[in-house]
Amino acid sequence: MRESGGKTYDPPTEWSMENVEETLMTLAAFSKDGDLKKALYQFIEQFKFYEQKGVVTMSSVIAHIEERGRREGILEAKKQFMAEKKIWDLEKKSWNQEKKSWSQEKKDLTQESGEMLSTLVILAQKTMIELGCSAQN
């Protein structure tokens, strides 16, 4: 199967297919050897894992096209969702900034009205003193 130093590797016949596959995959993973991977795939292709398909029929072509369309539709829907999410996030950020601005404006107006009220009270007290009025009057 694989020539290495003039030797060919043939797995023992008493090994099950799963053991051979597992051993070769492990070796391929450890060695990062492209030739070993190629040998593994050639060996696996000898076994019929999938049922043989018959002639290509119109229904199989339609099923393939529908499946491809479904995958493309899902991909397009994901792209559209991400675009809408991005727009929504930008709007949300804008709203939050506007809310923060309004909150600051409200705080400033509250402080200003408090200062105006204090000034009004002080002026009223001064006027009362000048006129000689008491709090009872």
Task: Please tell me the total number of residues recorded for the chain in this structure.
Answer: 137
Q: Does residue 23 lie within any of the structural domains?
A: yes
Helices 34-45 and 17-31: angle between axes, nearest 10 degrees? 160
Across the range 84-100, mean pLDDT stands at 94
Residue 16 lies in a domain: yes
118 Cα distance to chain centroid: 55
Question: Can you give the residue range of the structural domain that contains 25?
Answer: 3-45
Q: Is there a domain that residue 113 lies in?
A: no
Does residue 20 surpass a pLDDT of 90? no
Q: Read off the pLDDT of each residue in 91-96 and give the average, rounded to a whole number.
A: 95
- pLDDT at 1 > cutoff 50: no
Whether residue 75 lies inside any domain: the answer is no
Asked whether residue 104 is assigned to any structural domain, the reply reads no
Number of domains in the chain: 1
CA 23 from centroid of its chain's CA atoms = 36
In a domain, 123, yes or no: no
